[in-house]
Structure 1
Amino acid sequence: MPHTKQIDYSVLELAVVGQDIPHTQVFENTVELARKAEDLGYKRFWLAEHHNMVSIASSATTVLMSHVASKTNHIRIGSGGIMLPNHSPLIVAEQFGTLGSLYPGRIDMGLGRAPGTDQVTAHAIRSDRMNSVFKFPHEIDEIQKYFSNKLNSTKVRATVAEGVEVPIYVLGSSTDSAHVAAEKGLPYVFASHFAPAQLFDAMEIYYRKFQPSEFLQEPYSIAGINVTAADTIEEAERLSTSSLKMMVGVLTGNLDYLQKPVEMNDELRELRDNPSLQRMLKYAFVGDHETVKTRTAHFLKQTGVDEVIVASHIYDQEARIRSFEIFSEIMKEINN
């Protein structure tokens, strides 16, 4: 169904750690990208929670959110997401209530039920997390209660959250969370940038089962894509070799720092064409302005989503910013 409305576009940042790049520089790069995204018309800048991964530095997600929010002016800063089974709902409410007061009208709370890490690390974070996975819908209710102004007679309160406006987004990479988002009348974000298989099934469930709530009258959907855009197709392919190697590492469990790009060659093309990688990279758009625009427009038309959120794993900061510049130009053209 073609869009008759404006499509918002946002950034999903993992604070990816490149080979030979210290964490201090990674965080500076994150702030620089957030400022640039703000100038380029991106709606949100979300940070993802991952643990025990050398290539990702956004593990203390709310700390980094606060830092980025303090260095920007109006772009929304959020979690994409907080992996709720790792955390107590009370602590989440206190942290986001604090953020919501520090940066009024700018904080988003994206909540997911995956661990954002391997099972051993997940157990180290919270030993009872499997119970929490099954209580995901209930724990969202708990957080909402802490933000409510109506329950100030209860014994346990998150006083810094009461009455503070922080919208909740339900994240998912399968159909499970689509049911939760629909039943609770909350916006739904699908991780199609790395787990595209159930995107259409999940969106169909979400739209069909959506129940209006005090938070949202109509369904609102966001889907993730990977973008590596450059001024030429050849340069984009070269830059994409870093991301390609990173994805192979994810699939094989051989995680490493984001590698410097190399020229695309037959060996890497063969790797890219591996069926497992192809499935994972279905919505990884690599190319120049026109190539990425064509694929993005097709994606938006196919999915009918209200917003697209973009991840981009590019080693060189200047090239990464250029990719987000090109994507911003593309979205402005699509929206005209």
Structure 2
Amino acid sequence: MSSIQKKTSYSLLELATVGVGSKPSDVFKNSLDLAQKAEKFGYKRFWLAEHHNMVSIASSATSVLIGHIAGGTTKIRVGSGGIMLPNHSPLIVAEQFGTLGSLYPGRIDLGLGRAPGTDQATAHAIRSDRMNSVYKFPEEVSQIQQFFSPGNHTAKVRTTVAEGVEVPVYILGSSTDSAYLAAEKGLPYAFASHFAPALLFDALQIYREKFQPSEFLKEPYTIACANIIAADTDNEAEKISTSLIRMMFGVMTNNIDYMQPPTELTSELRVLMQNPSFHRMLKYAFIGSKEAVKKQTEAFLKETGIDEIVAVSHIFNHSDRVNSYKIFSEIMKELNTLPTPVGSNS
């Protein structure tokens, strides 16, 4: 059997990566251009991540950027992948996303995570009682849902811009904790396998086995991320990937810097890629020509059985990044139109 068993949606996660020599304003311009092209390529959603105190990532004011992207596109869903809820007041999150949902009806997603998206000192500067909120994450998710509920109109504390507005909530995670929560609440679940793949299958199993149907979702809905660097040739993709390799090494060594331009894949970088810790972090990095990335993607979809794959691409040159997402859209369209597997009765 050589094909996947169901059609799989494909989306992208934008980290608004800042390359050396670029300014955040350049990044925001390129992000919008990418979103407009992703819309044409057939991507389902364009999510933006929340990070702070990182020179290499400009998506710190996530809800503002979501408005920027949604205002410059017409049909692609735009949302957070995610809002790190313990950094924020649930009331303010509801007001911000209720406003976005009213401005761009039927197009805004609210993905919620509990990680800080930064170092501990910065997390404390964002919200000094953050750790209390981490432990109250399930309750704060419920609070946001209540703020969006039409029934909240009788509450003492109201969010009039959010009440009754359709903004679906997604639970994000990189461990098994959020899998239990997403299952219990009957919400869609997205796993950060692009940088924390170790517990992917455990989390998916827990979510599927424990899932409780809700007013929001009748059956489990699973999303997983993968690093995608596709190019016209394997050698070209390999060279482009050196920016990602250097960037992830900086994360591992706590030496975060601007994303660097690609170079030839040196022997030192090849040795680094074989380091067990590095290899584990980038287990789901699909790098190569269209044929190579298609093979890796198909295997990933078969193994996980996910409903949606989210592509993440740390690529220095904007034109290379657009081309990578274009190639990946072609791959997904081909995988979604493969003939019925041999032996099927349908």
Measured against the shorter chain, the TM-score band is over 0.9
CA distance in 1, matches of 2:30, 2:277: 31
SS at match of 1:152: helix
CA distance in 1, matches of 2:325, 2:215: 34
CA distance in 1, matches of 2:60, 2:140: 21
Matched, 1:273 2:274: yes
CA distance in 1, matches of 2:23, 2:121: 26
CA distance in 2, matches of 1:22, 1:208: 46
What amino acid sits opposite 1:83 in the alignment? M
CA deviation vs aligned residue, 1:110-165 (integer Å, no higher than 9, x gap):
00000000000000000000000010110010000000111212110111000000
SS at match of 2:229: strand
Alignment of 1:3-18 (within 5 A): 3-18=4-19
Structure 1 runs (4+) deviating above 2 angstroms are 1-5
CA distance in 1, matches of 2:279, 2:217: 35
Residue aligning to 2:250: 249
What amino acid sits opposite 2:117 in the alignment? G
1:4 Cα deviation from its structure 2 partner: 3.1
Residue aligning to 2:343: none
Alignment of 1:123-134 (within 5 A): 123-134=124-135
CA distance in 2, matches of 1:151, 1:110: 21
SS at match of 2:172: strand
SS at match of 2:306: coil
Alignment of 1:208-223 (within 5 A): 208-223=209-224
Count of residues in correspondence between the two structures: 336
Residue aligning to 2:156: 155
Residue aligning to 1:317: 318
1:5 Cα deviation from its structure 2 partner: 2.3
CA distance in 1, matches of 2:151, 2:265: 59
* Worse overlay, 122-131 or 146-155: 146-155
What amino acid sits opposite 1:78 in the alignment? G
1:22 Cα deviation from its structure 2 partner: 1.3
Alignment of 1:31-110 (within 5 A): 31-110=32-111
CA distance in 1, matches of 2:35, 2:132: 36
What amino acid sits opposite 2:18 in the alignment? V
SS at match of 1:170: strand
**Conserved in 1, the CA contact under 8 Å of 2:4 and 2:335?**
no
Q: What do you get for the CA RMSD once the two structures are aligned? A: 0.9
Matched, 1:143 2:144: yes
What amino acid sits opposite 1:314 in the alignment? I
Tell me the TM-score normalised to structure 1 length.
Answer: 0.99
Paired-residue identity, %: 67
Residue aligning to 1:282: 283
Residue aligning to 2:199: 198
CA distance in 2, matches of 1:134, 1:212: 24
What amino acid sits opposite 2:121 in the alignment? V
CA distance in 2, matches of 1:164, 1:210: 25
CA deviation vs aligned residue, 1:172-220 (integer Å, no higher than 9, x gap):
0000000000000000000000000000000000000000000000000
**Conserved in 1, the CA contact under 8 Å of 2:82 and 2:111?**
yes
CA deviation vs aligned residue, 1:259-312 (integer Å, no higher than 9, x gap):
000011111111111111100000011100111000000000000000000100
Residue aligning to 1:227: 228
Tell me the TM-score normalised to structure 2 length.
Answer: 0.96
SS at match of 1:171: strand
1:23 Cα deviation from its structure 2 partner: 1.3
SS at match of 1:150: helix
* Gap runs ≥5 in structure 1: none
CA distance in 2, matches of 1:9, 1:129: 33
CA distance in 2, matches of 1:274, 1:259: 21
Residue aligning to 1:326: 327
Residue aligning to 1:119: 120
CA distance in 1, matches of 2:241, 2:166: 39
**Conserved in 1, the CA contact under 8 Å of 2:4 and 2:298?**
no
What amino acid sits opposite 2:54 in the alignment? M
CA distance in 2, matches of 1:52, 1:116: 9
SS at match of 2:154: coil
CA distance in 2, matches of 1:330, 1:198: 26
1:36 Cα deviation from its structure 2 partner: 0.5
What amino acid sits opposite 2:293 in the alignment? V
